[in-house]
Amino acid sequence: MLQDYLLPESVADAIEVLKSGNGQARIIAGGTDLLLDIADGKKEAVCLVDITRIPELKKITLEDGVIRVGAAVTHNQAAKSELINEKAFALAQAARSVGSLQIRNSGTVVGNVVNAQPAADTAVALVALGAVAEIASPGGVDLVPVEKMYAGIGKSAVDSTARLVTGVKFPARSKNQGSAFVRLAQRRALALPMLNVAVMVSLEEDRFQWVRIAMAPVGPGPVRATGAEEFLRGAAVDPEVIKKAAREAAVQADPRDSALRGSREYRLAVLPVLVRRALEMAVAQAKR
């Protein structure tokens, strides 16, 4: 039963509360998922530690070519940010896809990662962007790739009663690079995706220098299509090559049969289309 709700104004204060809470205090940011989980009895907390009043967590910054998104940055802040749109388009698109505007005004990008749902839109984009999470605890700060933040379906590697993810950071795209996010859903708002795919490409003239492809929900968290990535390394930027890579990507996908969001068979059949479309968009951006 919830007994207290605290609004610390610094990371140090928040960590201190977690420490003294001995597992009874839990971090809350936007709360759009957590509050429903608490109401359904899926998660418990005696004390909620709200981090959205901590000034440094509310910012999106660019420093030395690295973009940092603080843990209190909302989806809408990311979706509307000029910096994110210009330098990490996949994240802007993914953030724009979440829930509804009201949800995007409360829910946070980092919260989406920590909630650890398999199809979390912004997590998929962050994996493609090569993002790393900064995790603060009484012991110090750890850096963990967003890909490694999943400990199972709906289970985060971060225990929010002990540690605080303060933000995520990833390299801003350079001129020859592009990123994109595509999503298949049953409606245009208020819907979880049947599939979502984010990619980032780096080109060298008419060839792929490297590519990152993240797909979901085809595993516990965003799944990297490492085979396709390898296939594209050094390959020509060519529609047939992209198509082939897209088919290759699907080989690494292991979607479930979902009564609500499509059969495994259907999702496997359509996934290459989404990967191809994402690659085409990212390439177009890189060439601009």
Partner 1 sequence: MTTKLLKFTLNGEMTEVAVSPSDMLVDVIRDRLNLIGTKKGCGKGECGACTVIMNGEAVNSCLVPAMKAMGAAVETIEGIGGPEKFHPLQESFMDLGAIQCGFCTPGMIMSSKALLDKNVNPTSEEVREAIAGNICRCTGYVKIEEAVFAAAKKMRENQIGRDRNEQF
Partner 2 sequence: MSSFNVVGQNVRRLDAVEKASGTAVFSTDFKLPGMLYGKVLRSPYPHARIVNIDTSGAEKLPGVKAVATHKNTPREKFNTSATMTFTVPTYEPVLDQYIFDNVVRYVGDEVAAVAAVSEQVAEEALKLIRVEYEPLPAVFDPLEAMSPEAPVIHECATGKNIPGEIIRIPFGDIEKGLAESDVIIEEHFKVPVQKQVQMETQAAVAQVGADGKITVWSTTQTPHPSRMILSKVFGVPHSKIRVLNPPYVGGGFGVRIGLSAKAEPIAVALAMLARKPVKVVYSRKEDFIASDTRHGGYVTVKLGARKDGAFHAIQMKGILNAGAYCSFSCETPGVLGAMGLAVYRIPHQYYYGHSVYTNTTPSGAMRGFGNPQAMFAIESVVDMMAEKLGMDPLELRLKNIMRVGDPWCLPYKCSSTGLAQCIERGARSIGWERRGKLNRPGDKKLRGIGMGVGTHVSNAWPFCVDYDNAYVTIQQDGSVHLAAGVPDIGTGTSTTLPQFVAEVLGVRLDQVSMAFADTLTTPFDIGSHASRTCYAAGTAVVAAARDARKQILDYAADFLKVAPEGLDIKDSVIYVTGPNVGAECAGTGVCRAGGGERTSVTLKELAYHAHLRNKQFIGVGRIVPDNAPPWHAHFAEVEVDTETGQVRVIKMAAAHDVGKAINPGIVEGQIEGGVLMGVGYALSEEIRYDEKGRQLQDSIHKYMLPTAEDRPEIDAIIVEAEDPTGPFGAKGVGETGLVPTAGAVANAVYNAAGIRLKEIPLTPEKVFRALQEKRGEA
Q: Which of residues 191, 235, 241, 268 is near partner 2 by CB under 8 A?
A: 191
Nearer to partner 2, 132 or 192 (CB): 192
284: contact with partner 2 by CB under 8 A: no
User: Which among partner 1, partner 2, none contacts residue 269 (Cβ within 5 to 8 A by kind)?
Assistant: partner 2
Burial 239-253 (b: 16+ CB within 10 A, else e): eebbbbbbebbbebb
> Closest separation between CB of residue 62 and partner 1, Å?
24
Q: What share of the chain is helix, strand, coil (3-state, %, to 5)?
A: 40, 30, 35
Rounded (5°) CA angle 234-227-119: 120
The DSSP code for 260 is: T
Options 43-51, 171-179, 246-254, 261-269: segment touching partner 1 (CB under 8 A): 43-51
Instruction: Tell me how far CA of residue 269 lies from CA of 25, 118, 160, 253, 282, in angstroms.
Output: 44, 19, 37, 11, 22
Cβ closest to partner 1, residue 7 vs residue 157? 7
Of 12 and 189, which has the nearer Cβ to partner 2? 189
Stretch that binds partner 2, among 23-31, 200-208, 214-222, 265-273 (CB under 8 A): 265-273
- Interface residue with partner 2 among 184, 198, 216, 223 (CB under 8 A) is 184
Exposure class string for 186-216: b at 16+ Cβ within 10 A, else e: eeeeeebbbbbbbbbbbbeeeebebbbbbbb
Which amino acid would we find at residue 255? P
Span of 55-63, 86-94, 184-192, 236-244 interacting with partner 1 by CB under 8 A = 184-192
How far apart, in Å, do the first and last CA atoms of the chain sit? 54
Q: Does 48 sit near partner 1 (CB under 8 A)?
A: yes
Residues making contact with partner 2 (CB under 8 A): 100, 184, 186-192, 194, 259-260, 262-263, 266, 269-270, 273-274
